[in-house]
Amino acid sequence: MTTARTATPSTARAINDRLALDLLLERGPLTASDLRTLTGLSRPTVADLLERLQRSGLVAHAGESAALRRGPNARLYGLVADRAHLAGIDIRSTGVSLVVADLTGRTLGTATIAASDPDTGRGTEEGVVTGVKEDGKEEAETGAGADDGDLLVKRTVETLLATAAEAGAEELHTVAVGAPGLVDPMTGTLNNSGKLPEWHTKLLAALRSRPGTEVILENEVNLAGIAEHRIGAAQGRRDFALIWLGHGVGASVVLDGRLRRGASGGTGEIGFLPVPGTIRLPDSKKCDGGFHSMVSSAAICELAARHGLTAGSAGGSGAAAGGEGASAAEEQEPAAAAVVRRAVESGADDFLDELALRIALGASAICVVLDPGCVVLGGEIGQAGGPELADRVEQHLSRLSPLATEVRAGTAGGGAVLAGAVLTAGDAARQELFGGD
């Protein structure tokens, strides 16, 4: 049973309110009796806090308890989910994905805006892959010679607002954005060293220019790590490292229950890690000679080709990724993830074992320095490999490192960045609205 702390009357009220709000968030609607039992607070104190929270607009009646009892059913009290709306945004070189959620984190709408040219951010004819309706003006503007991604930035902001409006949100309280690159932990700025498309920073500026909305920027793999820690494969662990396997490679590190960013926000830039098997060393400008060159999506596709595999057939006789014979799901799946999934399904042991060894080389460097005890393989490729790939990586890792390390398949998959963004936005919004610690 959780009990309230002794404090001054005003501080005690704030602590008790936060305690009750957190319970309503975690468990859903509760009766006054439930709150008394869970908090250890007295009947008058619970009655006072419920009246206070209803006046604030954070709590409202949510029906009646269905419990069998004599007399009238007890009233249920629940969070007012639409008291504030949140958004999570995942910025990649290929475009932008976003989700709008309520104060509890429940998804209300999603959208994807494609960039056909990653360097300029010039949109495709399809533009938005979502249920959001597009008017004729937007369609006419698509592909119309936008400079430096200005069109993509405009479409992203418009789509975000349209998605929020369809969800009943007049404004967004907090937006959390995941982007590749170094995010300065002191200033919250994105360090664009010239490797990122210019529209990334333009989009951030456009989002931050909207009054009344807090914008939180975080490295996208760190957000994925938050998702795996809170709702994914690393739940219950105080220490773990996530290795993100997607178009590129990255990592996030949680030690003692806290995300570690490093002095410059660079914790987890393992694409630059020198590992055996590369033909040259990485340098400060590019990671072509590092771990990235072993396990990026391009490297995995090359490895698969050497083993006679394609996304369409693990035996080499099927169609290439997205080609004739591929399923509808495969056509939407990146080629590297598709070929790994097919390899697992068909038991392509030689390919999976060589890929697992490559991943283990990078994982071992993390383990002997940080000793996280657990490594999660995330991203689209980690999800596609599943427990089969994770088990093989763990076997290789046990031979490379003297430290016992469990390897788990990520469960949040490619959507982990958006999931982590919503969690982060929700934490920030509730901290402001709920108060307390």
Residue 233: what residue type? A
Instruction: Give the predicted TM-score (pTM) of the model.
Output: 0.84
**Confidence (pLDDT) at 426:** 96
Angle between helix 349-370 and 335-346 (nearest 10): 110
Distance CA 427, CA 393 (A): 34
Q: pLDDT digits over 281-318, tens only?
A: 888 777 788 999 999 999 999 999 999 997 654 443 33
Name the nearest CA neighbour of 242 among 399, 377, 90.
377
Task: Return the structure tokens found at 132.
Answer: 């959001």
Q: pLDDT digits over 339-382, tens only?
A: 999 999 999 999 999 999 999 999 999 999 999 999 999 999 99
Average pLDDT of span 66-87: 80
Distance CA 297, CA 105 (A): 31
For the ranges 211-220, 221-230, 332-341, which has the lowest average pLDDT?
332-341
7-46 b/e with 16+ CB inside 10 Å = b? eeeeeebbbbbbbbbebbbeeebbbbebbbebbebeeebb
Task: Return the structure tokens found at 435.
Answer: 């108060």
Average pLDDT of span 150-158: 93
Distance CA 219, CA 374 (A): 21
Mean pLDDT of the chain: 85
Q: pLDDT digits over 36-70, tens only?
A: 999 999 999 999 999 999 999 999 998 887 654 55
**Confidence (pLDDT) at 197:** 82
Examine the pLDDT at 121 and tell me if it is beyond 50.
no
Residues 260, 253: contact at Cβ < 8 Å?
yes
Residues 91, 199: contact at Cβ < 8 Å?
no
Of 136-140, 169-173, 408-412, 422-426, the range with the highest mean pLDDT is: 422-426
CA–centroid distance for 147 within its chain: 29
Phi, psi of 373 (to 5 degrees): 80, -15
